[in-house]
Each structure stands twice: as structure tokens, then as C-alpha cells.
Amino acid sequence: SQTVRFITNEPESLDPQLHSEAIVRNTLFDGLAEYNNKNSDLTPSLAEKWEKNADATVWTFYLRKNAKWSDGKPITANDFVYSWKRLLNPDEKLSYQSALLYDIKNAELYGTKKAKAEDVGVRAIDDYTLEVTMGKPTPYFYKNISLTVFRPVPQAAIEKFGKDWTKPENIVTSGAFKLKEFSPKNQTVVERNPQFWNNADTKLDKIIFISDETIPFGSKPGENTVKFYEEGKMDAAFIMSSPDESVKNKTDFSLIKTNGTGFLSINTSSKPFKDVRVRRAFSLAINRDKLKEKNLSQFPTDSFVPEIKGYENAKNGGYQPDEARKLLAEAGYPQGLNFPEIEYIYNTNERNRDFAEFVQAQWQNELNIKVKLVNMEIRELLKKRSALDYNGIAHDGWFGDFDDPYNFLNILYTYKNGNGTGWTDKKYAEMVEKSNLETDEAKRYKLLNEAETYLLEQQPVIPLTVSARGLLCQPYIKNLSPNPLGFINWREVYVDQNWSAK
């Protein structure tokens, strides 16, 4: 039958506006647009088209007139107005991801109780026309609209049932599937939604999401997931991106790049990292190709922005140990002599420890510098990093909220956006923001490339890896491939009934 069994993290809630596992929720709730699985293009969904004004300060979305909730009622522009204001409502305290709406006029002010709901720049011109007024030019805004938190929620069900609105007997959904069963720590079952506007093109009848909590821990991460898969207890599963050779060599294993970068943050306020030559030396001393040899990453990089369609990445110089030693000598530390004691802080797990030991060995071998490794729990790491309470280098990473270079480059010029480097540079901030005055995407990407090039010359961060997801998928399951944000468009997935093992 057209049924897929998929193992995933247990969603804490099925409310798309709460921060939780999104894979299940994205089957139940449709967005204005969706990324397709085949080539990761953003394609119209609840909105059949959209347009922006000349300076990208006003976006207009035209909704499908045949789009319905699972109870048969029409989905209208007012559903989006209600939903987005609900997410921003400071009294609801739904999710920190409400900040993704802050580009909308007065959204942040409302979210921080400095403006009223009616001041927020989102309105229904009529039932099928949604107008969004931005607080500044925002040419990338359309890339946000597929995100889970931007998906509409059913006002009538929420007002009637309160926090119980997501129970199977109460929930009203807008996606290709509707909720059949939600059994915490066991499974979530969704089935085809006949009211869905594109039901005719939906291929699966049912998806059984098996909670990963049903699988006992093995001696290695993901070990028992692979075992369950091999025993035929599931059809597909995401697994860690650097599995054992025995898994990597399977024909039904694939490794898919996603929208994230693993990097090291440098505390530029600590001596000796105030000197850009020292920061550059530490980057150039790392042989990223060895990350593959040691199975630490299959996609090493020296760019800060991951691969994004149409965008040309800036490069960081790669591995140049002679140049690294030269820069270190120019900064006053020939052969690493008299270099002050520094630390590398990271959050505790086996993979992060292996990573830390790898870069530690690179700096010892190429620069003759000993780096002390300090491991800690993730909360302590985040606290120390944001407070610049570390002496040297910190394990770091960023997974894009939306598929655009701006979402990476803008985190490095304000503290509130997660900059744990202490590096502030007015020229860089102006370069990044200037890109939003350009509405032609090719020209805008060129400006962002110039900003990324400048960032890597200044080196407050050392990019090392592109994020990836490992996927085990039976050969009879077709079109199951995550988009750049790591999600699957389940309406494109199907079971090949004619498949047979050769």
C-alpha cells in the first residue's frame, strides 16, 4: 500500500507555532510556498503567486480559492493575520522563532509590548489577498514563507479547545495529511487529507512516524536505528551524517547537504586574537581534507555561507601551513614561541571531542601551539560563548532559518543575533545591510559575496564543515529527499509498487 514508516524525533507539540520537531507538523500544515524535493525550488502552495513592490517593503500574496481546512472551511488571508499575530503575541509566549517575523513593520515592537496588534504590518485586503508591509526593504522575505511557524493555524479550533486543540479529536489542519493518531513515545500516524487543495497529486495514503524513543540506545549513536531498519521495522530514517563504513557503503544510504555551517568562533577580545594575523594563521593551519579521512565530515569547507542556489561562495584560503607560520611570526610568535595559553571549549559528546582533538593536533603540528581542550554541557557553552567568557576558541555552528546568505552573514554583527566572537565591524555591517537595497537577486548575491569575502579576511570565525543529513531509505520509496532546510515535502513521496529486488 501507499504507506511509509519513518523514524523521527518525537514532536513535543503538533502546534506549528511552538518550537518543536517540524517533520511531522509539516505534513499537517501547508505553507504559502513549499520547497520541492527534486531540485529544492520554492514552489507556490497555499499562495498561487506573490509579488513585491519596487523596494521590497510590501509583499502581496494571492491565496488559492480552493484551499480548505480539513473541516472543509476555506483558508483565507485572515487566517494568516490571526496566526502571525498569535505567534507575535507576547502573552502567548509561543516560540523564540517569532523573531523570524520581526522584519514585518512593528512586529518586534508588538512582540515586546511596545506596540499594539493592529500596528503590525499584516492585513487581509480581501479573503484571498494578504498584504505584508515590512519595516525596511526585505528582498529575502519570500524565502521565509515555507517555514513551519509561518503556516496558518485554525482560529476557531484554538478558541474552542485552548491547549487541547492539537488532540486528534479536535485538530483542524491545512496540509496534505490529517492526524489519525498521536501516541507520545510511540508513534504519530497521519493519513491523506481529502480536503487538501492538491489532494489529486498527493501519492501516499498514510505515514507512520515512529518515535525514536521506541529504539533503545546502542553502544554507538544511531546503531540501533540502523539495526531496526535492517530488520525491516521501518522504511526510512535520518541517521548521523558520519556513520560507520558499513553503513556508508550501503546502496540505500545517502548523505545530503543541508543549510548549515560548522565553524569555530574566536574570542577576538582576548589576546592574542585581537591580531587578525593570528586569527588567519589558525585557519590556514587546518587541513580540512583530513576531516573526511577521519570521518568527521564528508563536506569540509572554508566558506562561511553553505551552498545556496545561485550564490557564489567566498573562499578562505584553505590549507596553507607555510603562510600560517609566516603570519604567526609577523604577529610576534615565530614557531609559536611565547604564545599565551589558550583554550578550545566545546559541548560534551564523542564526536565533538574527536573534532576538538583533530584541530588541537593541527595547531600543535603546524604552529607549535598547545591548546587546552575544555568540555562542558551545551547550556554552559552557549552561556560562556555569548558572554565572551572563554579564552581562545569555541565550537560553534549555524543552521539557516531560511535559504539565503543574509541569514548567515547577519549573525556576525550584533550580539543579540548570536555573535560569540566579540568582533564588531561597522564596514561589514554596512556591506551586509546594503544588499537589502538591491532587489535583483543576482546583484544582491554579488554584494553578499563581497561581504563574505571581507568577513573571511577578518577571520572572527573559522568555517570547517557543511551540515549534512544521513538518510537510509528503502529503494522502493521514491522522491524522499530533504530540501535545503532539512525537511521533506511528503506529498511528493510514493511507494513504487512495481519495484522488486534485482
What pLDDT is recorded for position 485?
82
262 in the same domain as 171: no
- The answer to whether residue 455 sits within a structural domain is yes
- The answer to whether residue 473 sits within a structural domain is no
Residue 413 pLDDT more than 70?
Answer: yes
What pLDDT is recorded for position 246?
73
CB burial readout 247-261, b (16+ within 10 A) else e: beeeeebeebbbbbb
Residue that wins the pLDDT comparison between 206 and 92: 206
Write down the residue that cell numbers 557503503 correspond to.
249
User: In percent, how much of the chain has pLDDT > 70?
Assistant: 96
| pLDDT level of residue 417 (50, 70, 90 thresholds) | low
Q: What CATH number corresponds to the domain at position 432?
A: 3.10.105.10
Residue 416 pLDDT more than 70?
Answer: no
Residues 382-389 have a mean pLDDT of 92
Residue that wins the pLDDT comparison between 241 and 284: 284
Tell me the pLDDT tens digit for each residue of 348-368: 888 899 999 999 999 999 999
| pLDDT level of residue 251 (50, 70, 90 thresholds) | confident
Name the domain count of the chain. 2
Contact 152, 104 (CB under 8 A): no
Residues 425-439 have a mean pLDDT of 95
279 in the same domain as 168: no
298 in the same domain as 180: no
186 in the same domain as 262: no
Most confident of 251-265, 405-419, 435-449, 486-500: 435-449
Domain of residue 157, residue span = 3-192
Write down the residue that cell numbers 513521496 correspond to.
493
- The answer to whether residue 202 sits within a structural domain is no
Q: What CATH number corresponds to the domain at position 90?
A: 3.90.76.10
Residue ending a domain, among 142, 165, 192, is 192
Tell me the pLDDT tens digit for each residue of 48-75: 999 999 999 999 999 999 999 999 999 9
What pLDDT is recorded for position 429?
94
390 in the same domain as 279: yes
C-alpha cell at 391: 579564552
Lowest mean pLDDT among 72-81, 131-140, 212-221, 317-326: 212-221
111 in the same domain as 29: yes
In Å, how far from its chain's centre is CA 114?
Answer: 29
What pLDDT is recorded for position 373?
98
Residue 445 pLDDT more than 90?
Answer: yes
111 in the same domain as 7: yes
- Residue-by-residue DSSP string for 214-277: GSPP-SSTTHHHHHHHHTTS-SEEEE-SS--HHHHT-TTEEEEEEEEEEEEEE-TTSTTTTSHH
What pLDDT is recorded for position 296?
85
- The answer to whether residue 151 sits within a structural domain is yes
285 in the same domain as 181: no
Residue 502 pLDDT more than 60?
Answer: no
- The answer to whether residue 249 sits within a structural domain is no
Write down the residue that cell numbers 491547549 correspond to.
163
Tell me the pLDDT tens digit for each residue of 336-345: 999 999 999 9
183 in the same domain as 50: yes
11 in the same domain as 98: yes
Contact 461, 412 (CB under 8 A): yes
Nearest of 491, 493, 496 to residue 199 by alpha carbon? 491
What pLDDT is recorded for position 498?
86
Residues 395-417 have a mean pLDDT of 85
Residue that wins the pLDDT comparison between 333 and 39: 333
273 in the same domain as 164: no
| pLDDT level of residue 37 (50, 70, 90 thresholds) | confident
Residue 415 pLDDT more than 70?
Answer: no
What pLDDT is recorded for position 65?
98
Note the helical H segments in 89-230: 107-111, 155-161, 223-230
Mean pLDDT of the residues in the chain: 92
Residues 14-43 have a mean pLDDT of 87
Residue that wins the pLDDT comparison between 258 and 312: 312
Q: Show Cβ contacts of residue 5 under 8 Å, excluding neighbours closer than 6 positions.
A: 207, 208, 210, 233, 234, 235, 236
368 in the same domain as 278: yes
- The answer to whether residue 483 sits within a structural domain is no
- The answer to whether residue 233 sits within a structural domain is no
- The answer to whether residue 472 sits within a structural domain is no
| pLDDT level of residue 222 (50, 70, 90 thresholds) | low
